[in-house]
Amino acid sequence: MKTILIALDPSIFRYGLKEIIATMPQPTDIETADTCEAALTLLDTRCFDLLITDLHPEVLRPVKEKCPEIKIMIYTAADERTFAIDYLLAGADGYLSKSAKKEEMEYAVRTVLNGEKYMSGAVRQEMLDQLWQKRRAGHKGVY
């Protein structure tokens, strides 16, 4: 059974995510925390397979120090094209917009629990565009 910690504000998002995940076919044990401090306190006593949160990037390191194997998915209303790549580079395993549909949320949770990185198509395209620009800048005249 997979264990998931949902640490989000406001409570409606915690409740909604818990309900969505509870209906997925994979059995899960779901805990919730309403503050960053509460989440870190829970992680002092128990490790989870997945943390779904809107914590700031600087909190990712302490989470990984407490539970090195934990997967972290950022679930936020912040603009994904502006912030997703930074969160992923800071150690997050997934980044999902709060505007995502239920099916995308389910897919993102499954993907991260299976040990893969998750990002939306828009973020994936942004990463590829940045990589392409860097490669082109370093290989002038080759293309």
**Alpha-carbon torsion angle 97, 39, 4, 95, nearest 10:** 20
Report the chain's C-alpha Rg in angstroms: 16
What's the pLDDT tens digit per position in 74-130?
998 888 888 888 898 888 999 999 899 999 999 999 999 999 999 998 889 988 998
- Domain with 134 in it: what CATH number? 3.40.50.2300
Q: Compute the C-alpha angle 92/93/98, nearest 5°.
A: 80
- Residue 143, in any domain of the structure: no
Q: State whether residue 118 is helix, strand or coil.
A: strand
Given the structure tokens 């390191």, which residue do they identify? 61
For residue 24, tell me if it sits in a domain.
yes
Question: What's the number of domains the chain is made of?
Answer: 1
Q: Is the pLDDT of residue 142 over 60?
A: no
Q: Is residue 11 included in any domain, yes or no?
A: yes
Q: Which domain holds residue 37?
A: 2-138
Per-residue confidence (pLDDT) for residue 139, from 0 to 100: 66
Predicted model pTM:
0.87
pLDDT score recorded for residue 26: 86
Q: Is residue 87, in this structure, part of any structural domain at all?
A: yes
Partners of 95 in the β-ladder: 74
